Structure 1
Amino acid sequence: MRKQVVSGVLALTIVATPLSAFAAPKSFTDVYSTMYEYKPVMKLSAQGTIKGRGDGNFGPKDPVKFLEALVMAQRFFGLESTANLSASLLTAPMEKQFGGNVPGWGKGYLVTASQQNLIDVNEQFTWDKGAPRAWIARLLVRLLGKEQDAQNRMNETLSFTDADQIPAWARGHIAVATDLGLIKGTDTGAFEPNRTVTRGEMAIFLDRVEKKMSQLPPRLSEATFVSTQDNTISVLGENNLLTPLTLDPNALIFVKDRVATVSDINPQDRIRYIKDGDKVTYVEVSQESGQSANVVKGEVIAYLAEQGLITVKDETGKPLTYSAASGFKVLSLSGQAVSASNLVLGSKVQIRLNADGKAAEVLLEQESQQSLKGTIVDINLPQKFLILSDGSNHYSTYYFTDTTYVEYKGQRFTALSDLQKGDLISVEVDGSYVISKITVEGVKDNLTVSGTVSLLDKDSRIITIKGNNGQLYAYELPSSATIAFSNGTSAIIDDINTSDSVTVSVESGAVQKLTIDRSGTDSGIWGKIASVDTTRRILILKDQQDHLKSYEIKDPVVLDIEDVTSPKLSDLKVDASVEFELDRDGKINYIKVEDKLEGTVTRVDADRHLLTLLDKYGKEKIYSVSRDVDVAIYDKSREDLNDVDVDDQVRVRLSSDDTITEIQVHSQVMGEITDLSSSSDRIEITDSEGDERTYYIDSDTKLVFPGVAKPKVSDVSLHQWAVVSYWGDDAYQVTIQTPVSGEVTSVDTGRDQVTLHQYDGTSRTYNIARGFKAQKGDTSSSSLNTISVGDRIQAIMDDDDKVYRANVAKKVTGTVDGINRSTKEIYIGTNVGYLVDSSSYVMQNGVRKSFDDILHNQNVTIYYMPSYKALEVTLPK
């Protein structure tokens, strides 16, 4: 039975389960572009399959451990979220089966490997030993769902010189793996079944597996390359739709397994790419089109059909003329043949030349958007051309001559040199691209003034500046103007002082931005006290690179020391960790003694009691962890270091020798507000599993309500949604959220997207966040497959506007046999009333109605949330 299940399970998993953590490809210090495994390693890094070891290395020549191979394979197929949720299912006997003391990050992968039949039920191995080639060959074959093929070939005679060393259980798998080209023999004809596979080889093997898959693994997309312009490439994706893709400046590009540039990709090449956010970080050519790389890009100056000539100016402005080859054709971006009459002045094209240097094919990138009026964005007097913008991202280029006439307000300009960038002009051309006359519609009145503040009236917001040219300038600072320090720190008008050096940007006579030419307050500086001189008020600190820095302490200074009511400088102790701020003069004006450090876990080594953290200032460091460390994770008991995972947000307490003695893991709970009391500052929340918890808003637990400056419990209403944030077991913040609600019209598990027809009448596609969970009835899942088209959902968004939690409404249909208009409840054959309040949507034929439109004996459909609160009531047509 297992032999038949493998293929179906993995094929489903590729579509259904998203990878939980993606990243741009890392630059490992021990992986070089000259290495054979460079491309596969970079590709799998971009996909999220491999993440390195936290010290900047990947270890390509190191043996791949059994557990590492299973982790890489399952991440490759998008099973990371499933594995993370399965860690608790690893039983003690099962853990012993794999050598015991399995690290927390790998437990779930052993469980899912068994569930997905990647390993045999009774199979035993020591998880941290190197995996041999025979075992890896079986794993690769099972990944492709070829188990039955392997079983059918178990008695096959293999031609390897060391075939007698191949274990019987692997003979069929090696036969299939070598036929598919997944893993090959040596130059001497041996297979070496017992040789340990390296981590770099494992990356190569997984890259080969991808080439044999019937569908692409998560994160990887395929398209046909069309063209490139600046940092954007145009491709034909699904359904032959033209799609622009933005290239990350550091994107890795491969052609024929070698590092290349985007200019090496030819039109009609098939490419595979990986995105990180909205930018492409990895591209490889998967199938070459055979098109010649001899491509000329430019802008059409003239097309003479009778003579068969096309003239373009290239990116340098140089005019180039080509004869049309026999069979010459013009293509649109969608690949369709179009009339050559589209080759008009100003059209952007790519010309593909044949071996004779003739134009064989023209790709019409952009039809002429020529404007006869616009703003000058560039003017080149030596080359005699200018570029106009019509304000809609359309640009036109024109040449001018020494005889070009320039007019302003009915009078001739002194010279062409009087034209400036920013001038609004209209042009007359002589029938082609050469300007015969320029009419200046409006001269540029934007300018930048640098100087010293000589007078400032803060009440009237009038500032007078003595410019560096000696002239005086007076401006009103509108409230919309941006004020900032030169280091980018935001400022207000009160931060401006007389004699400050400033730079003012003026557009259309109004100040848009004022920059104070000094640094603003520096905050969030962290260090460890090396010495305190209370007499001279000097503090010497050691930063995270163990560099000593000296700071002068302002008098007075604000001290924030836990459990000290009236702190003094003498209360600052050597080796204490502090966070402090500097004023504009570089003196310390605030010090907080902080023995806790916040960061993101990048590596956990529970066996050696090591934890690697990336702190909030972007610094990564390895810390020793006390063997009796106190670990706190919300809603867990008897936690230890094995329960801490990579990517967890943590707050740790450090001893004087930088040993971690306490770990609080950050977590969040989402739910509906089902009871509250403003008199006692109490909020009761029912989470998606129906559990009720009570929170008191006080100095320890903060209330956050977007759009409300100082929110109180009295600002909160029943049935609103809230996210409770925890450090360990302590709730520190309750955030009120307005969920996105609507009907699901599309679920795209390949792209991790869901499309909603929202109750405001609009439709929008949302990306799924890392850590996503959906609650549907009694089922909680991290799989997007939990949601179906037609479901009504409430979705909570994260800070990146991605769906973090989705609660699928339950559905009931029946005849209304009771209405309580005082409590706004309706009944359908039950004693339970469905609450229909102002936030519920009563819909009829796509039009929103009210509670009063609900009538007795109507046949209605109710989509309702926990506590029987109606999200939508659909009335009959």
Structure 2
Amino acid sequence: MRKMRWLHPVRVAVAVALVLALAGGPALAAPGLGVLKKLGLGFGPAKGGPPWLSSWFSDVSADHWALGDISTVAAKGVMKGYGKGLFGPRNHVTRLEIVVLATRLMGFEDEALALDPLEVAALPGSTFTDYPAIPAWPGAHECLAYALQHGYLWPLMQGGDGPVFRANAPAKRVEVIVILLEAAGLGPEAAERLGAPILFKDADSVPPWAWGYVALAIELGILRGYDGKLHLNKPVTRAETAALLNRLDDLIQTPADRRIVEGTVAGVDIPADPAVASTITIIPDTSGGLPGSGGEETYELAPAVAVILDGEPADLTEVTPGLHVALYLDRDGKVLLIHGETESEPSATEVVGMVLVTAHDETGSLTGLTLWVDEKVRVYLVSPEVVITVDGEEAPASAVVPGLTVRVTLEDGVVVAIAIGEEPSEEPPEEEKVTGMVLETDLTPDGELAGITLWHDGEAETFTAADEVEITRDGEEVPAAELEPGLTVTLTVVGGEVVKVVIGEEPPEVTEVEGLIVEVFLTSDGRLASIILWHDGVAETFEAAAEVDITLDGEPVGAGDISRGRTARLTLTDGMITAVVLDPTSDEVVTVEGTVTRVTLGTGTVPELGATISIIPEGGEVADEETYDVAPDVTVTVNGEPAALGEVRPGDHVVLELNVQDQVTVITATYTVSEVSGTVVGVVVDAGGKLMTLTIDTGEEHVTFAVDPSAKVYHDGVEVEHGEVAAGDTVTVLVARGMVTTVTITAKAGE
């Protein structure tokens, strides 16, 4: 039975934080020795020797983007190159190579090499008609047989090639991702993500059988794409494969991890005689799983050991006592790579912003937070140990709600504390407007304003002037000498100092803003408190004045008539809402019907916000494609069942209901279920005995289908286990969205 490789929880948390950015290109993960993330490793010589990687692979340049990944998989013995100093970073990884690499990374190679030679020849030989053409370099046939035997070769059998393997053909990006995750035993996790949204421009290119795996790979940061696309059908270079292998290895425990030891440097011995090996002595971490009881351990350094400190190439002499390091060992226990960080303390920062969206897990714990900070939407992960306080008192996660202004403390980009009702640690100066009658002014010898005394709100108050004060009358700047007693003026006071004086009462600043209502907040007595409005590509909160005029179709209405998803025009007086004009909602529902070509979800934690749906109208062609904005409160059903927007897939037939702003308010999606009958000629199951693929001879062709993990299997009207399906059985299958959902065995083989 295939062994399950388990995820490191800390590594998963870091990987999920990375995916929020949805960055493209060959970007590398964030640093952190605790999770052994690969940095953009460059290599410096030890004892004056040449860079060790260049001595191995002459075709990998010192500035190659994947240098760190290539070096790490080489140090771990996962990718070994072609020999003669060649790695082939630009060569496409072949279908056979990725099978061997997946087997090797997961630590199955020794088991594969121990297979009976007759079994090695029989299994692939009976499966693939081109078996004689499959290269027979050491371990290749053994790994292929092992992958077939343990159920993780099926991703390479989805291309409609039938019983042909095409060992030397380039492996596609989607095939590489799925086979790596399958070999890692992450099929169940992928199955849980069959309906998860994929926020890339080419999401419609994801095959149904790979959807959950691709979603999982994105979530874990293994698959990142570039140019906003995944490019799943493109071949993968060996350099890209090295990066993928490293990202996966950072998330799971493999035998290669047992050759990485971590600890604190006690000393480095560099003999004067270059013929004598250098050594490094460390005090191992108590959790490192090393032999001994925590005492010092000494390791011999390989002749061309590489040293990386804080992601930069360094000399061996820079490895000093007290430095925390990770040592990469070869099979003989010699150190190939020293990877250290001189600063391991997490960086802590504070951010003040308004809560837009909160995300919770099934227990109600806060897991994500979307804030409006510095006029931008920011999304943060929340630590499971987050401390939430209200006015200094500890509070539950439910206290964090949209519309609140909060101060959050971040460590390495993750929220560890949320303070509600407390002033930020660096309080910005308050701005105040004061209108009153001038009683007295104090001028400097140069005629500049030094202070002013006003009568306002029934009392006299003296204000100190700032170094520079703007004084205007009728919009024109005037000298301070014109501030005569008896004049009515409006002062702008910042931080207790007058920065502006307007002679005469300053008219209120009136502006208008129009957009889509994201959320509405009312007071306990039903008055309007604030509105979050989506406009000009951002979400912004506006507070309401004490009195607000609200109209619909020219008629006054109450605050309770303001609802999410409606377009509104706000009148702001000195930044406060004083009027709301709601766009009329027509009683007539406009509907359009067609076939979905793509669904693009919003980039925040609320996928409906800023989402669009594109369809080819009924009876239309590809050139007739139309795209509609989706209302934030859209109602979605798929085949009659309530669903999330991300569950609507390309190819589904939809009926869209539009409001007067042409926003989609209702999506009714359906997909067809087809019936296929024939004889089973191929079955692939996972380690738990669940069907993964079925190949059926329909009498006209051989067709291979991916099988939904929750598919039902029936024989003689009774539900049976997946393992009951065997080659030679006559079956009828129901296929929905390219996956088998039901298998009915109408006759067993030989009946």
If the length of structure 1 is used for normalisation, what is the TM-score?
0.29
